Every structure is written in structure tokens, then in C-alpha cells.
Amino acid sequence: MRFAQNVDYIVLALYFILMLSIGIYYSKFSKGVHNYFAAGNKVPWWISGISLYMTNFSAWTFTAAAGFIYHTSWYGVVYISSGIVTYFLGALLTAKRWRRSRVISPIEYTQTRYNIQTQQLLSWVISANFILSAGAQLSATCKFLSPLFGIDIDILIIATGLVILFYTFLGGLWGVLITDFVQFVILISMTLIISLLSLKFAGGLKGLFENVPPFTFEHVYNNVFYDLNFLISIYLIGTIGVAAGASQRFYSVVDEKSALKVGILASILSFAQPLLFAVPPLVARIIWPDLSQVDLFKGFFQPNDLVYLGVALKILPIGLIGLLMSAMLSATMSTLSSVYNFVGSIITRDIYLALFNPKADEVKQFKFGRITTFVLGLIVIAESLLYVHSEFGIFNIMVTFFTLFNIPVNIPLAFGLIFKSIPRWGASLAIIWGLIVGAIARFVAGWSIGAQVYIAGISTFVILMLSDKIRTLYLKNKTFLSLISLAVSILCSLIFLLNLKTEPSIARYLIIIVASFSLGFSLIYFNKFVKETEQDKKVVEEFFKKIETPINVAQEVYGKSGKETEVFLFIGFILIVIGTLISFLPFVVHTEKDIHIFIIVASVYIIFGVLMILYGRKNKINKEFILSENPGSKTKTNKSDEINRGI
């Protein structure tokens, strides 16, 4: 096996420089808050779709997920392929509605759709969840790469965190989207070559299917039980997560059709998951059935997490190992840069503008957004330095945040766009219910992840959809509502007490009973603070009129001032440069025997680059012709709209 050499360090350094250069280049297109957080709604749908696909990858995909597939075989493959379903269904639910909401912050619409209290609650919870999770992802990446390169992990965390921070800080959403595309090409080329070459160690596809254990629904991995309920819960969280959490990718494109294409493209790309990410760990299971006997994995606490790296090092020549590290970093960098921009927009629009400075103009919002993004990056770096030395474990931290926050927050965000019957105040109580019920189920009653997600999701959805009826009962028949609250309190207590999956104790009983009765009678007490007027109902009506109104591309997108962004030519140039440099690597590092691998990888970049340049030149010529035919207007023809959309 080969390990990182000097040339690999050079490749990694050049990759960092490339990402920073993209951020600097696209900073000239991010001179206002609308362009910084929504890219002026001019992002080609395929760029946004690839970016959406990329945001779900990090070093975790190559480590923890690979280890999970190694242990559970085909069950893990089904797990990692969830995007096929979740992207498609999530986009069908809300993609068009997000674009028609005409917002530039993922939950900016809640101040109108719900109320200021709901907006603030969502803003704080989502921001905390994303930032805490981002710290775990950065530390996971650097913990994996540090021993490979022999770099102190704290130094690696600081360096990597600063690179991600600066290109996000400089380039805004355009910088994030374009780096996502470049990282996508790097990721696809490296994972594809590793998967195809690794098959020879398993005897080809036939040998893979014959030697990998058959599919089963029940597994125990690191003392955690996984079954069908876990898979269903992951697909459920994923679908609702896309419907709510992919908002920025949906509303940054020009119109509703483009928004739907974003989700469909991400779904189609997910069909490649088994080939790109599952084959190497499955091959590892065949060639290394006992990792404790393999020198590479000796001395590691959880060797399963290193099986993808082990297969890659068995295949890749010097030089491409550095590019593999770049691919792993690219996945994490894509996720973290999206988090910085996403949370930055929330804090700027939904906290700073709504609470502290409602009269702030575009310039002040833009400056505050940039400062916020910078501070968020520093916080994530500090978290990573803390997490990486924590005995609790990075994987446990990630699972805790993901399962606790996502369902209670995303259900109101997604379904608030769909159901007009939900009152403006309804989401707040639903979120609180979901968070508390999920926490009790997981940390007090000791339920499995799947069961926790089920009960948190059902609780959130039921309270959200019945909130108007609960309000009606409060106003017309408080006695009956009191009886319902008592019944709900008793039912919740019995559900948890009779299904306790951990060691019984007086403290657990008390927590369950107190929490259950607090939730039950919150149906009454919460309504004491609700103020709903006819004006509130009119606001909701107006909101849904906007949702039902198609986007006027000519007026709402291209009628606005701002620099036009040359997407295709710039991306093409970058990819050709990368491909050309890779083609010279075998002669620099004297690995001519592996030249076919370098040629395949380089060809992928050059082909992508040439296609981008040809397409970009065609668009530029057509656009100049149309503008000459329509002086004084950039958007007088449908053809012009199509060109700018990148169709």
C-alpha cells in the first residue's frame, strides 16, 4: 500500500488554493444581500442540483458510512441510497412553493406564514443544530486525514476550517455553488476509478454478489440495534429534510420548473451511490474478513471506519492519493460552506433584521451577513477542536443532533408551505412537542432511533395539524379541552412507562410523568398567550396567493440590476487546468506503470471542461444576438430567459 508523499501534499495545497481562488473570483458577483444569499435567483438548475447532491457528503461518507456498509453489507447499501427517494419526494412536496415564496432566507417566510415567535424559535433551533453538527463534521474529516498525512490534528482543523470559511465569506452562495460543482467532478472521478478498480479484488461483479452476505433487516453495530424501522425513519427524515432544508437550492434558481429540476437531478445522481461509495467497503469485507489481522488497521479503535481508505491505498498511485484526500475534503467543505451560508442568511434576515435592526438597508444587511459568516466559521473551528478530543465520540455527537432536531423543525417548515389551515401560531407548540417527546423517547425511555423518530414526527405533525381545532376548543369549551389535556397526559405517561427500554428508576419515572403532564396541559396554557385576529387570517390568505402566483422571470429575476455571472466558461477553464496537471503527474512522480489511471482521471476533467466552455460560448453568442435585437432590455424574449437559465 502507498501512503501520502510530498507530491500528495502539493496536490492538496493546490486544491486549497483553487477553492480560495473561486471564492475571490465570485466575490465580485456578491455585492448585495440578495446576491450573497440567493445568488440573484440566477443559478442554473443543474448547478443548484449538483450542489444539493454534494451537501450531503463529508468525510463521514468515506469513514463511518463505509464502516457501516462493511458491517451490514446490503442493508448499508439501502441506507446510503436513500437520496434516490428523498430528493425526489422532497422536491415534489415543496420545490415549486419555495421558489414562489420569493424569500432569500430559508425561514424568512415564517414571519408571515406563522408569526414572529415561531420565526425566532426556528431561527435559534436551526442555527444551533447546523452549527453544532458542522463542528462534528469538520473534526471527523481532520481526525481521518491527520494520521495519513502526519499533520497535527489541531493544525489541520484550523487550516481546513479557515479555507472553507474564507471562500464562503468572499463568494457567498455563488462561491458555494461553483466550488460544489468543481468538488463534484473531483469526487465522481476519484470514487468511480476506485470502485471500478477495486472490483478486480472481489472477482468482478459476479464475485461481489456471490461473496457478500445476503440482505437482512437486523444488525447490531457498535452496540446499537438497526432494523427496518431505522431505514424507514432515515427515509422519512430525509424526505422532510429535503422539503424543508433544501430551500436555498430551490429558491436560488429562476423559476418553479427549474426548482423542481434541482430535486430531480439530485435524485438521479443518487442512483450512483451504490457504485461510487458502497463497492469499496463491500470489496473490503471480502478481502479482509478480519480487520484485526491486517497491518493497516492494527492500533485503530474502530478499524471499520478505515476500510474505504484501505482499498483506495491498495489501488491509487502517488499523486492521486492527494487527489483522493481532496475528494474527501471536498465533500466536507461542500457541506460546511453550505451551512455557513445557510445559517448566515437565517441570522441576518430572521434575527438581526427582525429583532435588532428592522430598518437596516441592503448594505448593512450585506455587511452583517459577511461578519456573521466569518464568526460562524470561527465557532465551528473551536467546536471541532473540542469534539476531536471528546470521549463521547464524533459519530455519537452527529447522531444525537440529527435525530433530535430534524423532524420537529422540518415538519412545520415544509408543511407550512402546503396547508393553509395551519394557523400562524401553530408551529411553535408543534416544535416544542416534537423536541420534548423525541428527547424523552431517546434519552429517558431508551427507545431506538427509529421509534424516537416515529413518535417525534407523529407528535409534531398531529399538534401542527390540530392546532386550529385546539384553539377553537379553548375559546368555546375549556372544560372539554381540560379533559382532553388530562387524557393526553395520561396516555403519554403510559406510552413511555410501559415501553421503558432502559434501567427503571424513580428519576426516570418522575421525568416521564412531569414531562407528559406538562405537554398535555400545554394545550391549554399555550393558548393563553395566543393572539389571533382577522388580520392574521388575511395575512395567511395573502401569503398563499403569493405561493399560487407563478414567477414572472422577466420582471422578478432579469429585470433586477446586477452583474451577469459567467458560470460555464469559468468552470470549464478550471476543470481543464486540473485535468492537464493530472496528466503530467505520472512523469513527475515516476509512476508511468499507472499512467492509465492518471489518463482516465484527467480525461474526465478535460471532457467536462471542454463541454462547459463550448456551452458557455454558445450561450454568450446567442445572448449578445438577442440583446442586439432588443436594445435596452435583457429579458424581452423567452429565448433569452432560456439561455440565462442554462437550459
Confidence band, pLDDT 50/70/90 cuts, at residue 621 = low
Question: Has residue 177 got a pLDDT over 70?
Answer: no
Question: Has residue 457 got a pLDDT over 60?
Answer: yes
Report the number of distinct structural domains present in the chain: 3
For residues 327 and 447, membership in a common domain is answered with: no
For residues 79 and 190, membership in a common domain is answered with: yes
Q: What is the pLDDT of residue 620?
A: 56
For residues 392 and 456, membership in a common domain is answered with: no
Does 546 fall in a domain? Answer: no
- Rounded Cα distance between 44 and 575, Å, is 18
Identify the residue with better confidence: 113 or 11.
113
Q: Domain range for residue 435?
A: 425-530
Q: Is 135 left (phi over 0), alpha (psi -120 to 50) or beta?
A: alpha
Identify the residue with better confidence: 52 or 389.
52
- Comparing 226-235, 474-483, 552-561, the range with the smallest average pLDDT is 552-561
- Rounded Cα distance between 595 and 605, Å, is 16
Does 633 fall in a domain? Answer: yes
Q: What is the pLDDT of residue 20?
A: 63
For residues 215 and 348, membership in a common domain is answered with: yes
Q: What is the CATH number of the domain that holds 315?
A: 1.20.1730.10
Identify the residue with better confidence: 632 or 6.
6
Confidence band, pLDDT 50/70/90 cuts, at residue 530 = confident
- Comparing 17-21, 132-136, 281-285, 498-502, the range with the smallest average pLDDT is 17-21
Q: What is the pLDDT of residue 588?
A: 65
For residues 402 and 429, membership in a common domain is answered with: no
Q: What is the pLDDT of residue 72?
A: 92
Mean pLDDT (whole number) for 608-612:
83
Cell 446510503 -> residue: 80
For residues 411 and 432, membership in a common domain is answered with: no
Q: What is the pLDDT of residue 4?
A: 54
Q: What is the pLDDT of residue 236?
A: 92
The radius of gyration of the chain's CA atoms, rounded to the nearest angstrom, is 26
Does 1 fall in a domain? Answer: no
Identify the residue with better confidence: 84 or 371.
84
Mean pLDDT (whole number) for 563-573:
66
Mean pLDDT (whole number) for 35-47:
61
For residues 482 and 349, membership in a common domain is answered with: no
Does 235 fall in a domain? Answer: yes
Mean pLDDT (whole number) for 232-248:
88
Per DSSP, the three-state class of 226 is strand
Q: What is the pLDDT of residue 113?
A: 82
- Which residues are CB-neighbours of 23 under 8 A, at least 6 positions away? 166, 167, 168, 169, 170, 171, 175, 179
Confidence band, pLDDT 50/70/90 cuts, at residue 163 = confident
Does 260 fall in a domain? Answer: yes
Identify the residue with better confidence: 102 or 496.
496
Does 547 fall in a domain? Answer: no
Confidence band, pLDDT 50/70/90 cuts, at residue 22 = low
Question: pLDDT > 90: what percent of the chain?
Answer: 24
Assess contact for 236 and 457: CB atoms under 8 A.
yes
Q: What is the pLDDT of residue 566?
A: 57
Confidence band, pLDDT 50/70/90 cuts, at residue 630 = very low
Confidence band, pLDDT 50/70/90 cuts, at residue 519 = very high
Per DSSP, the three-state class of 221 is strand
Tens-place pLDDT, residues 384-408 = 888 877 766 566 677 777 788 888 9
Last residue of a domain, one of 480, 504, 530: 530
- Comparing 453-467, 488-502, 578-592, 611-625, the range with the smallest average pLDDT is 611-625
For residues 607 and 520, membership in a common domain is answered with: no
Mean pLDDT (whole number) for 194-202:
89
For residues 458 and 348, membership in a common domain is answered with: no
Q: What is the pLDDT of residue 625?
A: 46
Question: Has residue 623 got a pLDDT over 50?
Answer: no
- Rounded Cα distance between 185 and 164, Å, is 18
- Rounded Cα distance between 41 and 95, Å, is 14
- Rounded Cα distance between 611 and 111, Å, is 43
Last residue of a domain, one of 486, 506, 530: 530
Question: Has residue 147 got a pLDDT over 70?
Answer: no
Q: What is the pLDDT of residue 143?
A: 72
Does 164 fall in a domain? Answer: yes
Mean pLDDT (whole number) for 301-319:
79
Does 608 fall in a domain? Answer: yes
* Mean of pLDDT over the chain: 79
For residues 315 and 431, membership in a common domain is answered with: no
Cβ-defined contacts of 340-343 (< 8 Å, 24+) = 340/134, 340/164, 340/165, 340/168, 340/169, 340/373, 340/376, 340/377, 340/380, 341/37, 341/168, 341/172, 341/173, 341/176, 341/248, 341/373, 342/106, 342/130, 342/248, 343/126, 343/127, 343/130, 343/131, 343/376
For residues 575 and 487, membership in a common domain is answered with: no
- Comparing 139-143, 283-287, 422-426, 632-636, the range with the smallest average pLDDT is 632-636
Question: Has residue 120 got a pLDDT over 90?
Answer: no
Q: What is the pLDDT of residue 590?
A: 55
Confidence band, pLDDT 50/70/90 cuts, at residue 331 = low
Per DSSP, the three-state class of 529 is helix
Last residue of a domain, one of 373, 400, 417: 417
Nearest residue to 321 (alpha-carbon basis) of 24, 598, 600, 565:
598
Question: Has residue 464 got a pLDDT over 80?
Answer: yes
- Rounded Cα distance between 42 and 635, Å, is 13
Question: Has residue 512 got a pLDDT over 80?
Answer: yes
Question: Has residue 643 got a pLDDT over 80?
Answer: no
Identify the residue with better confidence: 554 or 247.
247
Q: What is the pLDDT of residue 635?
A: 42
Question: Has residue 639 got a pLDDT over 60?
Answer: no
- Comparing 81-90, 237-246, 478-487, 602-611, the range with the smallest average pLDDT is 602-611
Mean pLDDT (whole number) for 42-66:
78
For residues 328 and 404, membership in a common domain is answered with: yes
Mean pLDDT (whole number) for 545-556:
79
Q: What is the pLDDT of residue 280?
A: 94
Tell me which range, 60-74, 211-225, 505-519, is most confidently predicted by mean pLDDT.
Answer: 505-519
Identify the residue with better confidence: 215 or 120.
215
- Which residues are CB-neighbours of 297 under 8 A, at least 6 positions away? 288, 291, 303, 306, 310
Q: What is the pLDDT of residue 129?
A: 82
Q: What is the pLDDT of residue 637?
A: 40
- Rounded Cα distance between 116 and 118, Å, is 5
Question: Has residue 36 got a pLDDT over 80?
Answer: no
